[in-house]
């Protein structure tokens, strides 16, 4: 109890409160700029944390990352340009809602369920950290291989086009991920002698290219779309409670999946959003609406990616193993501030731990008022003429991608991916699947190859361990689904067409 | 840029084949049985398979709903033909940024890019000029000051 | 995105962060040397949040205090360090782009991954060195490093699996060197490449590996959590932060030592005044209480050499690492 009081005192300190507020605004801004991810927001905070007290330092990282993951939804929803990779899975859905004049519902859902996901994730951190940590530690490369494979299968569930084209896009993404020498063998591949390609293709320039640049390219060749009916931007939170009740089950599923994926080192918020969105599509009661501006997927995936953020701290705090790139940075800061990760952190520094929990909760609560302000400001973009918004986006694409590595080569990459995304989109290849392939590529290969090395080329160890057996079974289920769906689709093709016609 | 499924499918077959072939030529790693070749060959094979399926139109019927949504797309034939070239403006501007930014500095380069893009999108100079001045200044302020990204000063260093 | 309120918001964020971003930056500027007259860029070939990044950032802050100009850390990552190392070597030799170089610079060129060698740099100071440890799962049957060594000798080649970093990385060489010192072939224990020490320690705890040869600080959290044990450290003497871990020589009489070191360097042909200013400045940084506290807190090894000493160190390391890589069959030439 004394620890709890001490924690309140720690968090109520002026510098901590100021740090939370400042980093909240900072996280909201950075996350909403295309090309700047939540990871980037956190990395840029590191030098600042040098000057802060330990609790304030950790507070900036927790707050900024939570805000950035939420606000990545904003440009995705308004402009079809996801701000962070975690938002890419459901960008099309959110944008479709905007086109139908429901931008405030879509953004409100992103905000409300992000906050809920964040709080549920925090509770899992408070109540079940040792249990979750135990689970994380039962994952060796075999389990990761199946998990990553399962993540890739989400491409076919998410895409609204032909599953074959979705798989082709995803494979193209995996091939792109092969570029460079970041592979288990450390051998340069497909670099064509270009030093800059040795480092491989970062997901951020690819994401910015296929979404943002290709969107501007599309704007160049299409006439300005009819203005949305000019009306007052409705209340952002009204209706969220109704959604919460209506989609209670998907919301909880999103929370749980987010917590589980978040706690597994290396998977992270991006994958949580993908898997949850795919789940919501698969299990939706109104599957025909999914992809046309239906909030169900936003509810589930929005909750999921923020829940994963909190649970990602479990392995980081207990074992110093980063759950994702954000906690990787956070671990460095923890060490620097003398809060060395390990079980003793929970016993000897209990007040600091409670303070950390409190900060998580506070961050997710102030996300709602600050998020509303941010949404209101950002939604002015919908009224601005396209010829004013799009040039600014090009500029942000260039600077944002440059900022990730201080390398002009990534700007070239953004341009190349813009052309690729434009051509793919025109021909019915879903670009989101490409991004998934690029994000997951190195994780799939790393765990596949190292598992093969460990098993001396034997397949049996892949399914021997209990968890890996379950995951393998799930994967084969997901693998066979498109084939079954295709057969089903042939039978029902006539009926489907009839259903689609009136729209 | 609208290509038939046969063309894109064939392209994927060629790409997958090339990836698998050049992947198979990668040197093995000493002391390891599984090397860098395995994964590209696997993906290349997958791409070839997908390419064949696409070329033969399998799975095409899933795209029906997609076409129905595209009601905002232009319908005029002449517009499409011009379109191909104008679409290349954004990537061209990005390449211009790469080559010009160190020479001219961030502010002039960015202003040129924003102005050109705005004009290409049909803005009147009354709108394009203020945007071309405001947007680079604002972006510079945020990235250079707040995020400490090293943007080159070039000919026109920022006043802050 | 260009509305007035949005600008006000950004401005607000900038204002709010400004006091956080720069307290106490203006330190005692020494007698106004001609260099540095403007901010200096410090390139880091490894990602933000990692050990190298952390070390460079603390050095940058202390240099800023010492020399009175901002030292900005820029992470230029990719290609197992190739991209960033090349960027430091190819920078304008005006003293305004420097960087941190790591042991990999004496390894990458042997693998034929880059043309850049230690000769392309002006060494300025060696700042840190971390020797590898030998870690096993807590439930492993090996009580000490001797037991593990006996098990290795009794195993068939490739049966036991170890990890700690990527293929051909410094910890892979540590394993190869240790096996060589025991009179075994370098690939007697199969190396499982990993994306750094953290995933390797995770796999060790999950029961997927037999042992890891990453540095002890990298394994620290798992050791503290009681999930892994460190049997020995490949160093001339015990580590001050981990006094319970014996050296290889103490535990099994095998004298083998190596380490992952980090040092500050600039491109070759750096002006003499830059070198003259940086060499003593780095010495003062190393001897400062802040630097020592920081490295001790993370368990990083405090090892220093001035510019001339770092140059000798680079030459020796390049030779010994090259030999180790040839012995392990990892070198191209």
A443 vs B: CB within 8 A: no
Claim to verify: residue B15 and residue B66 sit in the same structural domain: yes
What are the structure tokens assigned to A346, written together? 């929970």
B115 vs A: CB within 8 A: yes
C10 vs A: CB within 8 A: yes
**Under an 8 A CB cutoff, do B110 and A218 touch?**
no
pLDDT reported for residue C217: 87
Claim to verify: residue B90 and residue B142 sit in the same structural domain: yes
B19 vs A: CB within 8 A: yes
Nearest to C218 by CA among A64, A197, A341, A230: A341
- Among the three residues B73, B92, B116, which one is the final residue of a domain in this structure? B73
Whole-angstrom Cα distance, residue A437 to residue A431? 10
Claim to verify: residue B89 and residue B111 sit in the same structural domain: yes
A97 vs B: CB within 8 A: no
- Among the three residues B18, B45, B73, which one is the final residue of a domain in this structure? B73
C-alpha distance from A352 to closest chain B C-alpha (Å): 29
The two beta strands, C260-267 and C305-306, are unpaired
What are the structure tokens assigned to B40, written together? 């590209």
Considering only A333-337, B57-61, B89-93, C140-144, which range has the smallest mean pLDDT? Answer: B57-61
Q: Which of A51, A57, A59, A450 to mutate to test the interface with C (most CBs of C within 10 A)?
A: A450
pLDDT reported for residue B93: 94
A502 to chain B: closest CA residue: B68
A452 vs B: CB within 8 A: yes
Whole-angstrom Cα distance, residue B57 to residue A146? 30
Structural domains for chain C: 34-130+260-327 (3.40.190.150), 133-252 (3.40.190.10)
- Average pLDDT for residues C5-15, to the nearest whole number? 38
**Under an 8 A CB cutoff, do A220 and B87 touch?**
yes
Q: How many CB atoms lie within 10 A of CB A494?
A: 10
Q: Which carries the bigger pLDDT value, residue C65 or residue B33? A: C65
Q: Is the peptide bond before C36 cis (omega within 30 degrees of 0)?
A: yes
Confidence of residue B73 (pLDDT cuts 50, 70, 90): very low
Whole-angstrom Cα distance, residue A376 to residue C1? 12
Whole-angstrom Cα distance, residue C95 to residue B149? 19
What are the structure tokens assigned to C162, written together? 């170890």
The β-bridge partners of B61 are none
pLDDT in tens, C208-257: 899 999 999 888 888 988 899 999 999 988 988 899 999 999 999 988 88
Claim to verify: residue B92 and residue B54 sit in the same structural domain: no
pLDDT reported for residue C141: 94
Question: Which of B29, B30, B146 has the CB atom closest to C13's CB atom?
Answer: B146
What are the Cα distances from residue A318, in Å, to A267, A305, C227, C269? 17, 21, 11, 47
Q: From the first residue on, what is the mean pLDDT of each consecutive set of 10 residues in chain A (503 residues)?
A: 83 91 91 78 78 89 90 88 82 87 87 92 88 82 87 75 86 92 80 81 86 89 70 71 87 91 79 87 79 85 89 84 77 78 77 89 93 89 84 89 80 94 90 87 86 87 88 81 69 58 46
pLDDT reported for residue A492: 67
Claim to verify: residue B58 and residue B110 sit in the same structural domain: no
The two beta strands, C211-212 and C133-137, are antiparallel
Q: Which of A233, A332, A394, A400 to mutate to test the interface with C (most CBs of C within 10 A)?
A: A332
Question: Which of B29, B135, B141 has the CB atom closest to C2's CB atom?
Answer: B135
pLDDT reported for residue B62: 59
Nearest to A308 by CA among A341, A267, A248, A358: A267
Q: What does the radius of gyration of chain B's CA atoms come to, in whole angstroms?
A: 24
If you write DSSP's letter for every residue of C101-162 in order, what string do you get? EEGGGGTTTTTTS-S--GGGEEEEEEEEEE-BEEEEETT-S--SHHHHHHHHHHSPTT-SEE
If you write DSSP's letter for every residue of A197-238 in order, what string do you get? HHT---HHHHHIIIIIIHHHHHHHHSPPPPPPP------SST
Whole-angstrom Cα distance, residue A393 to residue C288? 46
Chains with 3 or more CB pairs under 8 A to chain A: B, C
Query: Quick one: what percent of chain C has pLDDT higher than 90?
Result: 49
A416 contacts in chain B (CB < 8 Å): 91
pLDDT reported for residue C5: 39
C10 to chain B: closest CA residue: B142
Burial C302-328 (b: 16+ CB within 10 A, else e): ebbbbbeebbebbeebbeebbebbebb
- For the whole model, what pTM was predicted? 0.81
pLDDT in tens, C96-154: 999 999 999 999 899 887 889 999 999 999 999 999 999 999 999 999 999 999 999 99
C-alpha distance from B156 to closest chain A C-alpha (Å): 17
Q: What does the radius of gyration of chain A's CA atoms come to, in whole angstroms?
A: 22
DSSP B143: I
Nearest to A409 by CA among B92, C96, C43, B97: B97
C-alpha distance from A81 to closest chain C C-alpha (Å): 13
Distance linking the first and last C-alpha atoms of chain B: 45
B85 vs A: CB within 8 A: no
Residue C73 pLDDT > 90: no
Question: 3-class DSSP state for residue A322?
Answer: coil
Considering only B1-10, B98-107, B112-121, which range has the smallest mean pLDDT? Answer: B1-10
Q: Is A2 exposed, middle or buried (0-12, 13-18, 19+ CB in 10 A)?
A: exposed
What are the structure tokens assigned to C274, written together? 């830059």
What are the structure tokens assigned to C221, written together? 């959290």
Inside any domain, residue B114 = yes
Whole-angstrom Cα distance, residue A179 to residue A159? 25
**Under an 8 A CB cutoff, do C53 and A449 touch?**
no
pLDDT in tens, C142-200: 999 999 999 999 999 999 999 988 888 889 999 998 998 899 988 899 999 887 788 88
Phi and psi at C40, nearest 5°, equal: -110, 135
- How many structural domains is chain B composed of? 2
Claim to verify: residue B59 and residue B105 sit in the same structural domain: no
Claim to verify: residue B39 and residue B89 sit in the same structural domain: no
CA A251: distance to chain centroid? Answer: 16
B134 to chain C: closest CA residue: C2
Place of tokens 């689609």: A500
Claim to verify: residue B31 and residue B56 sit in the same structural domain: yes
A415 contacts in chain B (CB < 8 Å): 90-92, 94-95
Chains with 3 or more CB pairs under 8 A to chain B: A, C
Chain B contacts in chain A segment 243-282 (CB below 8 A): none
Confidence of residue B132 (pLDDT cuts 50, 70, 90): very high
CB A7 within 8 A of CB A358: yes
Claim to verify: residue B64 and residue B88 sit in the same structural domain: no
pLDDT reported for residue C2: 35
Q: At what angle do helices A38-49 and C51-67 cross, to 10 degrees?
A: 40
Claim to verify: residue B104 and residue B57 sit in the same structural domain: no
Place of tokens 């200044």: B137
Residue B153 pLDDT > 50: yes
Q: Which of A205, A387, A413, A459 to mutate to test the interface with B (most CBs of B within 10 A)?
A: A387
CA torsion sign for C219, C225, C227, C232 is positive
B112 contacts in chain A (CB < 8 Å): none
- Which contiguous run of DSSP H or E holds residue B2? none
pLDDT reported for residue B36: 85
Whole-angstrom Cα distance, residue C315 to residue A208? 43
Q: Which of A221, A225, A390 to mutate to test the interface with B (most CBs of B within 10 A)?
A: A221
Claim to verify: residue B69 and residue B91 sit in the same structural domain: no
- Which contiguous run of DSSP H or E holds residue C12? helix C4-21
In which domain, by residue range, is B54 found? 5-73
CA torsion sign for B130, B131, B135, B136 is negative
pLDDT reported for residue A365: 93
C12 contacts in chain A (CB < 8 Å): 25
Q: How many CB atoms lie within 10 A of CB A42?
A: 28
Whole-angstrom Cα distance, residue A364 to residue B70? 38
Confidence of residue C4 (pLDDT cuts 50, 70, 90): very low
Question: 3-class DSSP state for residue C99?
Answer: strand
pLDDT reported for residue A499: 54
- Average pLDDT for residues B75-91, to the nearest whole number? 68
pLDDT reported for residue B66: 42
Claim to verify: residue B69 and residue B106 sit in the same structural domain: no
C169 vs A: CB within 8 A: yes
B150 contacts in chain C (CB < 8 Å): 41, 72, 74
Question: 3-class DSSP state for residue C219?
Answer: helix
What are the structure tokens assigned to A182, written together? 């970041």
* 3-class DSSP string for B34-99: CCCCHHHHHHHHHHHHHHHHHHCCCCHHHHHHHHHHCCCCCCCHHHHHHHHHHCCHHHHHHHHHHH
Within 13 Å, how many C-alpha atoms sit on residue C61's CB side?
19
**Under an 8 A CB cutoff, do A175 and B44 touch?**
yes
- Among the three residues B17, B48, B73, which one is the final residue of a domain in this structure? B73
What are the structure tokens assigned to C249, written together? 């020589």
Nearest to A204 by CA among A81, A316, A120: A81
């Amino acid at each position: 109890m004394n620890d709890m009081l001490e924690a309140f005192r720690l968090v109520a300190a002026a510098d901590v409160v100021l740090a939370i507020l400042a980093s909240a605004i900072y996280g909201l801004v950075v996350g909403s700029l295309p090309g700047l991810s939540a990871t980037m927001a956190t990395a840029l905070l590191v030098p600042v944390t040098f000057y802060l007290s330990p609790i304030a330092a950790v507070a900036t990282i927790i707050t900024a990352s939570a805000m950035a993951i939420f606000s990545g939804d904003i440009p995705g929803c308004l402009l079809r340009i996801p701000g962070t990779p975690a938002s890419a899975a459901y960008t099309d859905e959110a944008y479709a809602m905007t086109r139908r004049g429901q931008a405030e519902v879509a953004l409100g859902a992103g905000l409300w369920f992000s906050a809920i996901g964040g709080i549920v994730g925090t509770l899992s951190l408070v109540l079940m950290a040792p249990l979750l940590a135990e689970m994380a530690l039962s994952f060796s490369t075999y389990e990761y291989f199946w998990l990553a494979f399962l993540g890739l299968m989400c491409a076919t569930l998410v895409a609204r086009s032909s599953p074959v084209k979705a798989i082709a896009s995803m494979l193209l993404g995996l091939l792109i991920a092969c570029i460079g020498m970041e592979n288990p063998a450390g051998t340069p591949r497909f670099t064509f002698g270009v030093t800059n390609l040795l480092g491989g293709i970062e997901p951020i320039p690819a994401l910015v290219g296929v979404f943002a640049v290709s969107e501007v390219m599309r704007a160049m060749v299409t006439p300005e779309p009819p203005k949305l009916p000019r009306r007052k931007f409705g209340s952002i939170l009204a209706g969220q409670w109704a959604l919460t009740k209506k989609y209670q089950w998907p919301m909880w599923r999103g929370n749980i999946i987010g917590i589980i994926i978040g706690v597994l080192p290396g998977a992270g918020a991006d994958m949580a959003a993908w898997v949850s969105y795919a789940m919501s599509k698969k299990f939706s009661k109104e599957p025909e609406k999914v992809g046309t501006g239906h909030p169900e997927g936003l509810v589930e995936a929005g909750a999921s990616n923020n829940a994963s953020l909190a649970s990602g701290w479990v392995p980081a705090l207990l074992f110093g193993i980063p759950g994702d790139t954000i906690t990787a940075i956070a671990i460095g800061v923890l060490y620097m501030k003398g809060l060395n990760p390990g079980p003793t952190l929970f016993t000897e520094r209990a007040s600091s731990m409670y303070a950390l929990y409190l900060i998580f909760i506070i961050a997710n609560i102030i996300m709602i008022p600050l998020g509303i302000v941010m949404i209101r400001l950002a939604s002015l973009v919908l009224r601005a003429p396209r010829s004013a918004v799009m040039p600014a986006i090009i500029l942000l694409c260039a600077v944002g991608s440059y900022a990730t590595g201080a390398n002009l080569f990534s700007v070239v990459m953004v341009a190349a991916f813009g052309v690729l995304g434009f051509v793919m989109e025109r021909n019915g290849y879903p670009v989101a699947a490409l991004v998934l392939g690029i994000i997951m590529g190195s994780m799939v290969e790393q765990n596949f190859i190292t598992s093969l090395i460990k098993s001396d080329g034997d397949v049996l160890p892949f399914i021997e361990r209990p968890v890996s057996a379950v995951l393998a079974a799930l994967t084969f289920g997901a693998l066979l689904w498109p084939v079954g769906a295709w057969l089903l689709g042939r039978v029902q093709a006539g009926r489907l067409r009839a259903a689609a016609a009136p729209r | 840029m609208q290509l038939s499924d046969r063309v894109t499918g064939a392209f994927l077959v060629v790409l997958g084949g090339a990836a698998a072939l050049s992947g198979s030529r990668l040197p093995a790693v000493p002391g390891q049985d599984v090397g860098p070749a395995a994964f590209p060959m696997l993906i290349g094979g997958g791409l070839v398979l997908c390419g064949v399926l696409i070329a033969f139109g399998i799975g095409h019927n899933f795209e029906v709903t997609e076409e129905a949504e595209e009601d905002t797309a232009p319908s005029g034939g002449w517009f499409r033909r011009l379109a191909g070239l104008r679409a290349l403006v954004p990537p061209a501007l990005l390449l211009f940024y790469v080559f010009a930014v160190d020479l001219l500095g961030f502010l002039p380069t960015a202003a040129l890019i924003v102005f050109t893009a705005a004009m290409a999108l049909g803005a009147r100079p009354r709108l394009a000029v203020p945007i071309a001045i405001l947007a680079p200044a604002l972006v510079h302020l945020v990235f250079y000051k707040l995020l400490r990204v090293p943007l080159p000063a070039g000919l026109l260093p920022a006043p802050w | 995105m260009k509305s007035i309120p949005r600008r006000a918001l950004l401005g607000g964020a900038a204002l709010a962060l400004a006091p956080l971003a720069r307290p106490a930056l203006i330190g005692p500027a020494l007698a106004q040397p001609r260099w540095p007259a403007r901010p200096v860029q410090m390139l880091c070939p490894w990602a933000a949040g990692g050990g190298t990044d952390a070390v460079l950032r603390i050095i940058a802050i202390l240099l800023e205090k010492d020399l009175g100009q901002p030292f900005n850390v820029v992470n230029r990552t990719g290609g197992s360090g190739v991209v960033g190392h090349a960027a430091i070597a190819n920078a304008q030799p005006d003293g305004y782009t420097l960087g941190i170089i790591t042991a990999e610079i004496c390894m990458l060129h042997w693998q034929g991954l880059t043309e850049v060698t230690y000769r392309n740099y002006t060494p300025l100071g060696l700042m840190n060195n971390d020797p590898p440890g030998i870690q096993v799962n807590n439930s492993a049957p090996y009580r000490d490093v001797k037991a593990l060594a006996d098990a290795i000798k009794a195993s068939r080649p490739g049966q036991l699996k170890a990890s700690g970093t990527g293929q051909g990385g410094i910890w892979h060489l540590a394993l190869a060197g240790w096996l060589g010192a025991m009179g075994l072939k370098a690939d007697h224990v199969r190396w499982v490449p990993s994306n750094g020490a953290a995933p390797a320690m995770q796999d060790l705890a999950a029961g997927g590996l037999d042992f890891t040869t990453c540095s002890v600080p990298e394994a620290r959290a798992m050791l503290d959590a009681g999930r892994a044990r460190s049997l020995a450290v490949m160093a001339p003497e015990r580590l001050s932060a981990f006094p319970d871990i014996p050296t290889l020589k103490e535990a099994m009489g095998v004298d083998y030592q190596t380490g992952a070191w980090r040092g500050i360097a600039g491109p070759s042909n750096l002006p003499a005044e830059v070198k003259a200013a940086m060499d003593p400045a780095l010495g003062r940084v190393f001897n400062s209480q802040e630097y020592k506290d920081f490295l001790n807190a993370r368990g990083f090894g405090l090892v220093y050499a001035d510019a001339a000493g770092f140059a000798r160190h680079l030459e020796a390391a390049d030779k010994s690492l090259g030999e180790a890589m040839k012995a392990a069959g990892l070198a191209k030439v």
